[in-house]
Every structure is written in structure tokens, then in C-alpha cells.
């Protein structure tokens, strides 16, 4: 049973516009969330995180929003750049030291 879901397998956005990637989870015990970016032939690289005590975390062009009541998080990329084209995974964990559950990924294409 997939505890972390990314329902959009792919997303295309024009360069300079906003990219919004969504992630839903089912386990209310999850309290730490990560986003990873993955290029072909490379392992995922950490992008940004958020803990359940916050509802927003920003890092440059990347912002993650967490809606605990809806069990939903989203990653906003503004402005989108062609180099952002990659597969994005969200991951969730219930407290420190426990395994992370990953979503199925969303392939983002930023069109120049």
C-alpha cells in the first residue's frame, strides 16, 4: 500500500513560470518530509525538507508547503528553469530514525 502518493507522473511548464508538484500521504504519524530531485543516471539528491511543526519552508527558488489536515504537501519552483527538468520525489518519515517512504515521482519538464 502506497503511503506516499504523487498522482501526477509528469508536468510540463514554460521557463520562468511556476512549477507546482504535489504529494499526498496517508499516515498521520508522518512528521518529516523531504523532496529529492533525480537526473537520469544519477542518484536522487536532497532538495528541501519540512517538519510538521511548520507549514512552509523556503530555500531560494524552492518552497515547500505542508497542509497537515489535508495530508498534502507541495513543492513550488519559481521561476522554473530548464535545468530544473528532472524527476522529483517526495518522501515522508514518522519521527527521527525511521525509514522514509517515497512517492512514485513526478517528471518535470521545463520548456525553454
Partner 1 sequence: KAGVTQTPRYLIKTRGQQVTLSCSPISGHRSVSWYQQTPGQGLQFLFEYFSETQRNKGNFPGRFSGRQFSNSRSEMNVSTLELGDSALYLCASSLGPRESYEQYFGPGTRLTVT
Cβ 104 to partner 1 shortest distance, Å = 4
Whole-angstrom Cα Rg for the chain: 13
Stretch that binds partner 1, among 12-20, 59-67, 69-77, 94-102 (CB under 8 A): 94-102
* Nearest by Cα to 34 from 90, 97, 103: 90
Which residues, at least 6 apart from 87, have a Cβ–Cβ distance to it below 8 Å?
A: 37, 38, 39, 105, 106, 107, 108
Cβ 79 to partner 1 shortest distance, Å = 27
Stretch that binds partner 1, among 10-18, 57-65, 70-78, 91-99 (CB under 8 A): 91-99
For residues 77 and 19, the answer to whether their CB atoms sit within 8 Å is yes
Nearest CB to partner 1, comparing residues 77 and 88? 88
Nearest CB to partner 1, comparing residues 38 and 68? 38
Whole-number Å distance between alpha carbons of 54 and 17:
26
Give me the residues that bind partner 1 (CB under 8 A), please. 2, 4, 6, 32, 34, 36, 41-46, 49, 89, 91, 93, 96-105
Amino acid at each position: 500500500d502506497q503511503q506516499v502518493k504523487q498522482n501526477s507522473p509528469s508536468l510540463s511548464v514554460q521557463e520562468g513560470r511556476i512549477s507546482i508538484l504535489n504529494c499526498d500521504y496517508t499516515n498521520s504519524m508522518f512528521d518529516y518530509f523531504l523532496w529529492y530531485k533525480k537526473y537520469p543516471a544519477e542518484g536522487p539528491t536532497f532538495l528541501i525538507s519540512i517538519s510538521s511543526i511548520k507549514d512552509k519552508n523556503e530555500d531560494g527558488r524552492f518552497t515547500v508547503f505542508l497542509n497537515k489536515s489535508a495530508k498534502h504537501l507541495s513543492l513550488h519552483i519559481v521561476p522554473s528553469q530548464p535545468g530544473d527538468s528532472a524527476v522529483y520525489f517526495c518522501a515522508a518519515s514518522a519521527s527521527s530514525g525511521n525509514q522514509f517512504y517515497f512517492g512514485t515521482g513526478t517528471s518535470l519538464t521545463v520548456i525553454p
